Structure 1
């Protein structure tokens, strides 16, 4: 009996060592070799090895207790490491950014909107996962249990372990001078790739998690919109024009980055004649909420430290300064229209905290304007950009009070696969994307015509991030992350005003509205 138990523990020790070495190797392989920025100069890769040891020490015993099978627990651990490594590699390939600790909060969104998150994975992944699950289940059914403890004993240990994790987590999330002193030894940039280069993905995640636990309350207080006196009205006696802000999904003039012909003649003309320029972003392919937050608030995401990876987590909790609050002070009614589920990135809460009087999501749009529920208003799964911008012009024309309208388009959201819209199977990925660009251009043309017909409105449009097109991802050297912006109306291109070309960060963009 003693010999059997000793062999079991030797096997477990071997499994633990193997998993630790595998995770440490995967972590090192996922670490950039060259610094992506000049924000940090010193590296500490051993922190990642320590984090890998801690992860295996926490997870592997739980797998053994839950399954009561050595090979089942060990191979499941191997599978989880491979999934983590592959998921990180896929994210880096598409977004040029490693997994960050706050990505775990997107799990609910991924399950609710799977196509937006899993649609970029290679098609062969899903059959492979199904086969792996089937083989794993079969293996568990034939492997003899370890039998060290009975079911109740193992359940008690698992419950005890979770209780300990909960208590330790609560302790680490409370302000602690000792933890803060230790964190002070590691400089953080809060640029995801820079911190990953310095500390490895697991090391950076550990530091970000500890930092968030120690400083999140300070960040919440710092960025919360202060007393009501900050919102006192400064209404102008002069007639105010409407203000239209357009966040164009994945918009970039593709012909400026490639040898392809332009499909946006109206936008090209506006960019040549009105105020326009590059929108300088640190992210690509996703993270709409970072660009959106920066444009609306004038706050660079990195200023939010750990909240900067997903700034709407903070905005969903507290009222924050924004363009909308400033517009309200001037006498504007503030409205946001997003033809998608209003719960996406918690915009149903965020937009109230950013000063918007009303959120018109897809459900409201279809109910109050029945024409927006017609098939003709759609391109594939999403509202057609021309239909949406034509609606925006009609909406502003019908308003009797000055209105600030923020429109967030959805049509060009990836992936741009063969099921994107009817006939897409006959087109390349770039041609599918250009179809959406053409629709956006038609919508902008409708806006310009409305302005020429008497609609008093200034317009600012920008792209939220580069599209995750294979053509752009595989370019050498890599395509810059910049999109573009253009502003017109009043003294803009629609009336032949003076052009101004400026490259801006998103937090500096609002002055052109």
Structure 2
């Protein structure tokens, strides 16, 4: 046995104080919320934190089969997650949580949604240093197999890995039977990421939320049933648009000195055409589109979902619940969802059919469509909507429900994004905020309201073979916390637009997204 072999055990033991204590220091460095919730640490925090840290190190040691490489990986996990969590919190006002780890697959679908905020240089540097450490350790460090000379190296590693994975799986199953959502509530869990992270810790909260996702107890809120819909004599075509990051710009502009009387002309044109506008409360802020999307389609309040409130598309949407689409389908409507993006994002390729849609049109229908910035333009989206409606009319006389999810205005809105389309400097100069990023975002808001006008008030009369009712709402506010805070715009409320081809509508503020579908149907004559 050489010197490195003799040092293996002392080296591992020397890691122990760091493994047990560093997570507490990192927890102290974790940022939680734009304003940290006023909550005290739960006693279980002081138990979960070191135990979890030790389990993570052992798991990495079994995986990498080298004690120093495992320690480097452990540091990467703990320090890396702290940094990433703080970046997320700075942008969205919320730290990492367990369901976020499930959506890590999105890094390979739309990496720009995430890497742009963390920074490409930072990502490359971290993984570069880790790779260098692994190569160095492999050259100088012996594996655990040296202590199991009676087995071939690879066989010893494989047996140990399988055995450890089995132990972790059985432990998780056992804990999931004990640590249910009901038990968690008794311990003080609120399923509010910020408050729960303050009380139980960033790192323990990730696996604890994961355990609760293994709870198979039925949620009564997902079994809610509505009365059967009865369509009016002349059933209207219905178009509901979930507009990425949409809100009434004047709610910000009119707070800026010198712009108190500002009128956003695109939205004013819709009001003049008889549309109703107003604020609507949504559960999401800056991201988490699926929370608002699920609440609109299902009518279930986000705060009634328990652990599924964070990502309803992970479990709740797979339960066969009643939705706006299933209700309209039962009333004779053809139901189609259109989203000019990759269908696998948020697992919509599975979720959308389960929520009652006959067809789901994704990015494959927009391969040659023009972009405005990074993504398919709202103008191109309007083209496909009109084509879809025309094709349907030729094949069927059934009324149509379209649920449209835009993507043109998806962030981040970095300067240079629209340089090939507009004069960005001029746009910044004329925007009341004088913010280069917000000035670009505003271009997208102009486009989505113009799309609504094109499909609604400006639609050719010959295309309206039926009455038409339209709704549009924002999935969440754009992630401009510092800008909004500077001008006193707070809360999560976005805005909606409602329009009917045959009547003028009255404005109403204070709607809630889970009630918006019923409001939409009422205006349509149901």
TM-score under structure 1 normalisation?
A: 0.84
Name 1:416's counterpart in structure 2: 413
Cα deviations across residues 131-180 of structure 1 (Å, max 9, x unaligned)?
3134313431443326444534444333321121122223333x44x878
Name 1:15's counterpart in structure 2: 15
Q: 1:156 to 1:401 in 2, by over 3 A?
A: closer
Q: Is the 8 A contact 2:4 2:142 kept in 1?
A: no
Name 1:157's counterpart in structure 2: 160
Cα deviations across residues 389-434 of structure 1 (Å, max 9, x unaligned)?
3543454466332111111111111122356345279633222212
Structural mapping, 1:115-126, within 5 Å: 115-126=112-123
Q: 1:47 to 1:331 in 2, by over 3 A?
A: same
Name 2:222's counterpart in structure 1: 223
Q: Within 2, Cα distance between the matches of 1:44 and 1:74?
A: 28
Cα deviations across residues 260-310 of structure 1 (Å, max 9, x unaligned)?
987952323435763222222333111111101001111112211111211
Q: Within 2, Cα distance between the matches of 1:426 and 1:117?
A: 27
Q: Is the 8 A contact 1:43 1:199 kept in 2?
A: no
Structural mapping, 1:101-500, within 5 Å: 101-145=98-142, 147-150=146-149, 151=153, 152-173=155-176, 175-176=177-178, 183=184, 185-213=186-214, 215-219=215-219, 223=222, 235-236=230-231, 238-258=233-253, 259=256, 264-270=264-270, 274-363=275-364, 365-366=365-366, 373-375=367-369, 377-393=370-386, 395-396=388-389, 399=393, 400-418=397-415, 420-423=417-420, 427=424, 428-451=436-459, 453=461, 455=464, 456-469=467-480, 472=483, 475=486, 479-490=490-501, 495=503, 497-500=504-507
Q: 1:335 to 1:199 in 2, by over 3 A?
A: same
129-138 or 105-114, which moves further after superposition? Answer: 129-138
| SS of residue in 2 equivalent to 1:336 | strand
Q: Within 2, Cα distance between the matches of 1:128 and 1:425?
A: 34
| SS of residue in 2 equivalent to 1:120 | helix
Name 2:514's counterpart in structure 1: 507
List alignment gaps of at least 5 residues for structure 1.
367-372
Q: Is the 8 A contact 1:225 1:318 kept in 2?
A: no
Q: Within 2, Cα distance between the matches of 1:390 and 1:19?
A: 57
Name 1:369's counterpart in structure 2: none
Structural mapping, 1:35-46, within 5 Å: 43-46=40-43
Q: Within 2, Cα distance between the matches of 1:387 and 1:66?
A: 48
Name 2:431's counterpart in structure 1: none
| SS of residue in 1 equivalent to 2:338 | strand
Q: Within 2, Cα distance between the matches of 1:476 and 1:16?
A: 49
Q: Is the 8 A contact 1:248 1:464 kept in 2?
A: yes
Cα deviations across residues 365-391 of structure 1 (Å, max 9, x unaligned)?
34xxxxxx545x322342211232354
Q: Within 2, Cα distance between the matches of 1:288 and 1:475?
A: 25
| SS of residue in 2 equivalent to 1:189 | coil
TM-score under structure 2 normalisation?
A: 0.82
List alignment gaps of at least 5 residues for structure 2.
425-435, 521-526
| SS of residue in 2 equivalent to 1:285 | coil
What CA RMSD, in Å, does the superposition of the two structures yield over aligned residues? 3.4
Q: Alignment length, in residue pairs?
A: 490
Q: Within 1, Cα distance between the matches of 2:278 and 2:182?
A: 43
| SS of residue in 1 equivalent to 2:360 | strand
Structural mapping, 1:32-71, within 5 Å: 32=32, 43-71=40-68
Q: Is the 8 A contact 1:45 1:203 kept in 2?
A: no
